[in-house]
Structure 1
Amino acid sequence: MISFNYETDFNSDNEKEFSDWISNTIEEENCKEGEINYIFCSDQYLHKINLEFLNHDTFTDIISFDYSAGKELHGDIYISVDRVAENAKEFNVKFEDELARVMIHGILHYCGYKDKTKEDKNQMRSKEDHYLSKRS
């Protein structure tokens, strides 16, 4: 089950579309959908989590906590809508497209993809692009 939670004024009008797309991605990755919570928040909210849990004093667009059990995906994915908006401007893309990229990025981590090395980052970007092309 995919749920959407809001700790900011932002609200998605496309929860069903996002949920169906994410479910299809999980299935295509041969994983099972467990309980996945998206929490949309501000820069300040996510910065506090970054400091408290990861000891990183930086702003970021996403932090995911993975509670998966094998191929059954479970977790909490925190997304800063402020950071997504900034990134969308910087990369000259629509806000919703950048939001979708960040949302699927968290799921791909749960599926086992990493992004620490250049090779891993390239594979992650390729997977993101693949699934972004499947959004309706």
Structure 2
Amino acid sequence: MKIIRGILWRFKEGVGYNIFVDVKVYRDGIKTPKGLVSALEMFLRGTARREGIRSRLSVIITGDERMAWLNETFRGRKGPTDVLAFPDEDLPEIYLSWDEAVRRGDPAGECARLALHGLLHIAGYDHKDKDSAAEMRRLEEEYLLCWIF
């Protein structure tokens, strides 16, 4: 719950910018903490603005079954993964595994971290080598520290 209050508090300054972030819950039965969806929207809206992303962005919180299907269909890898980003020019999408977030012990915090990781991929960052992975980790920590008190 601490992450949600921190995000809401820090993003009051970012409200009103022309970046639309649409967060949808995909799987029936996923119960997210109250305020998580709106907190993620504000967090991603502000972060997208800072990264120069100017498009509609969908974030879908789903489960392992859907993530495994997406991972195999689009990456050729069997089994679920924690986050997938599809940087389509018109409608970029980020898929998060709620099941993985729960396994890590802090579902709300992990959703924020996973959504941020996906957003950085959409912004053009990757972790194909040691240096680019270090840069992504640095940015993730920087953004998360800015929004959590």
* Interval containing the TM-score (normalised by the shorter chain): 0.7 to 0.9
Greater strand content: 1
> 1:23 Cα shift?
1.5
1:1-136 correspondence to structure 2 within 5 Å: 1-8=20-27, 9-12=29-32, 13-29=35-51, 31-68=52-89, 74-86=91-103, 88-89=104-105, 94-135=106-147
Q: Is the 8 A contact 1:3 1:38 kept in 2?
A: yes
- Asked if the contact 1:64/1:78 (under 8 Å) is kept, the reply is yes
Alignment deviations for residues 97-132 of structure 1 (CA, whole Å, 9 cap, x no partner) = 111110001111111111111211111111001111
Measured after TM superposition, the shift of residue 53 of structure 1 is 2.0
Q: Return the alpha-carbon distance in structure 1 between the equivalents of residues 37 and 63 of structure 2.
A: 19
Query: 8 Å contact 1:23–1:33 — kept in the other structure?
Result: no
Aligned length: 126
Q: Distance in 2 between matches of 1:22 and 1:110?
A: 12
Give 5+ residue unaligned stretches, structure 2. Answer: 1-19
Give the TM-score normalised by the residue count of structure 2.
0.76
Q: Give the alignment's TM-score, normalised by structure 1.
A: 0.83
SS of residue paired to 1:27: helix
Q: Which runs of 4+ in 1 moved over 3 A?
A: none
CA-atom RMSD in angstroms: 1.7
Q: CA deviation at 1:14?
A: 2.5
Displacement after TM superposition at 1:34 (Å): 0.8
